[in-house]
């Protein structure tokens, strides 16, 4: 059967109240998105490692799934009354046809070529090049399938620059960068994330790829420095975490940063320049990767 997909622009202070009330009023599911995603105002949800935030995004979009026969206006009015907030008026409705969601999801993720020798291959596909380094990875709860420009930028750096040594993936998500580093020859690979699901997903993905990599919550990570530290997060937490990340890179080691829009690159480099000398930024679809050597 088809469904109704309703997207509602909501204030962050009302988002959680409205979400709970919509589910009570009959919504099949409710998820929240950053209305400013992909802009300079994009912010992390609940913070990044060691960079906590207290609220949802300043501007949120509630994505609501309803039965095809539900009265959208009536559901919104009822939910708003339960939540004690004004009835939302800024929303859109789209009909979602019945589909085989598993096959649809799989059809959207084909093998991705990072370089001639490095591929990302979903488990339901055969590797296009069996002689290449193939990362087995499926879309899941944690960020990082290789389809986003920031992930590709970091993978390309690893592919061309990594030569043994130790590596820390700070904000590891799915573990894709750590797993790639292990397959590319890093001697020791650690990953850290504040999200327990990300840590679990990373461990599962490392086992799937038969590599040795270790993943932790921030408080579980030991002390010490690394030859390479990679952080693919977002600009604001990267700026706030500069002393922490700089302290994890050994003298002469390398720092790789992404999750940065092109217009934000100079601001990020300015924060880190007391520790690092940066190469020119690399850009992919408006996103930037920065790479620097510790002075």
In the annotated binding site, the residues are 151, 171, 193, 232
CA distance 18 to 83: 6
CA dihedral 25, 27, 32, 38 (to 10 degrees): -130
Q: How many CB atoms lie within 10 A of CB 188?
A: 16
**Which residues lie closer than 8 Å to 269 by C-beta, 6 or more apart?**
278, 281, 290, 292
Q: Which of 222, 89, 140, 241 is nearest to 214 (CA)?
A: 222
| Residues of the binding site for S-adenosyl-L-methionine | 151, 171, 193, 232
Paired residues of 31 in beta bridges: 63
- Read off the DSSP letter of residue 125: S
CA distance 9 to 153: 32
Q: Which of 89, 138, 142 is nearest to 109 (CA)?
A: 138
Adjacency order of strands within the sheet including 3-11: 29-34, 59-67, 3-11, 91-96
State how far the alpha carbon of 71 is from the alpha carbons of 9, 27, 295, in Å: 19, 11, 62
Number of H helices, E strands in the chain: 9, 15
Residue 152 phi, psi dihedral angles, 5° rounding: -60, -40
């Amino acid at each position: 059967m088809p469904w109704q997909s309703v997207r509602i622009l909501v204030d962050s202070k009302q988002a959680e109240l409205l979400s709970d009330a919509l589910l009570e009023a009959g919504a099949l599911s409710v998820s929240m998105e950053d209305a400013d995603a992909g802009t300079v105002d994009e912010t992390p949800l609940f913070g990044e490692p060691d960079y906590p935030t207290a609220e949802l995004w300043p501007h949120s979009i509630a994505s609501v799934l309803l039965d095809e026969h539900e009265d959208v206006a009536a559901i919104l009015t009822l939910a708003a009354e339960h939540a004690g907030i004004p009835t939302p008026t800024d929303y859109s409705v789209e009909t979602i046809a019945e589909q085989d969601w598993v096959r649809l999801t799989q059809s959207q993720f084909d093998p991705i070529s990072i370089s001639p020798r490095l591929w990302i291959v979903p488990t339901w596909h055969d590797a296009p090049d069996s002689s290449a380094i193939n990362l087995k990875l499926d879309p899941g709860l944690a960020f990082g399938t290789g389809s986003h420009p920031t992930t590709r930028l970091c993978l390309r750096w690893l592919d061309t620059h990594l030569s043994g040594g130790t590596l820390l993936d700070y904000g590891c998500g799915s573990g894709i960068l750590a797993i790639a580093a292990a397959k590319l020859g890093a001697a020791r690979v650690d990953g850290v994330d504040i999200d327990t699901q990300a840590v679990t997903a990373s461990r599962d993905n490392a086992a799937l790829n038969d590599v040795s990599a270790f993943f932790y919550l921030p408080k579980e990570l030991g002390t010490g420095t690394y030859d390479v530290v990679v952080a693919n997060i977002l600009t604001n937490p990267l700026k706030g975490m500069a002393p922490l990340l700089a302290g994890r890179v050994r003298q002469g080691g390398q720092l790789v940063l992404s999750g940065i829009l092109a217009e934000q690159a100079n601001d990020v480099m300015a924060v880190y320049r007391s520790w690092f000398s940066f190469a020119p930024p690399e850009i992919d679809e408006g996103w930037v990767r920065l790479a620097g050597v510790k002075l």
